Amino acid sequence: MDALICDVCGGKIVMKAEARAQCEYCGLEYTMERLKEKIIEIKGTVNVQGIATKENLKSRADEFFEHRDLDKALEYYHRYLDLEPTNNDVKEKIKQIDKYKSQVQKPRELLKCTVLEINDWGIRVDPYKGLEGIVHISKLSTKRINSPSEIVNIGDEIWVVCLGRDEMGRVRYSARDGLALEKNNF
């Protein structure tokens, strides 16, 4: 019998404890009733999962990319390339992700970030999901501010310069240095 395939991403459905089933790639959980339906659907049908699987993988990868979850996007793009190794669009997306990820490692790079969290000490920003970092309150503005919320709100997009990593491995940014200062209006 063929493996049960996830409706969402085309991944393999595996049995878990307590009579649960879950897609091993996207984590979607299946009830026993739905598994029985899927088994009935498979019996006596022609296997056409190849095309649907490729489309699902690319669609999921594009969704992850759009939502800046680059690690998941990269995983799904590579799975897609396993099935369709000549797709140049997907190869280009992978190059783009690699470029994005390497930018955070380069101090002095200018990046546009989304403000995720505001604290007394500063803000947490995310240029690309999974590569978030911090901007200390002293690096937010050339003027003295008592709280970061005086100049930014959660969800705002601001320009920052990557300063590198601190001793704890967190990526540090500044919104008041060089080009970032020129692009921000605060």
Top mean pLDDT of 6-15, 58-67, 132-141, 146-155 is at: 146-155
Q: Average pLDDT over the chain, rounded to whole?
A: 80
Nearest to 133 by CA among 153, 111, 155: 111
Element (H, E) at 63: helix 49-66
C-alpha–C-alpha distance, residues 125 and 71, integer Å: 17
Give yes or no for residue 147 having a pLDDT over 90: yes
Q: Comparing 7-11, 141-145, 152-156, which segment has the lowest mean pLDDT?
A: 7-11
Tokens describing residue 90: 């997907």
Instruction: Please write the tens of the pLDDT for every residue from 19-55.
Output: 678 888 888 888 888 877 777 666 554 444 444 478 8
Give yes or no for residue 139 having a pLDDT over 50: yes
pLDDT at 178: 65
The SS3 call for residue 53 is helix
Q: What is the mean pLDDT of residues 53-78?
A: 84
pTM of the model: 0.47
156 pLDDT band, cuts 50/70/90, is: very high
C-alpha–C-alpha distance, residues 43 and 2, integer Å: 9
pLDDT at 150: 94
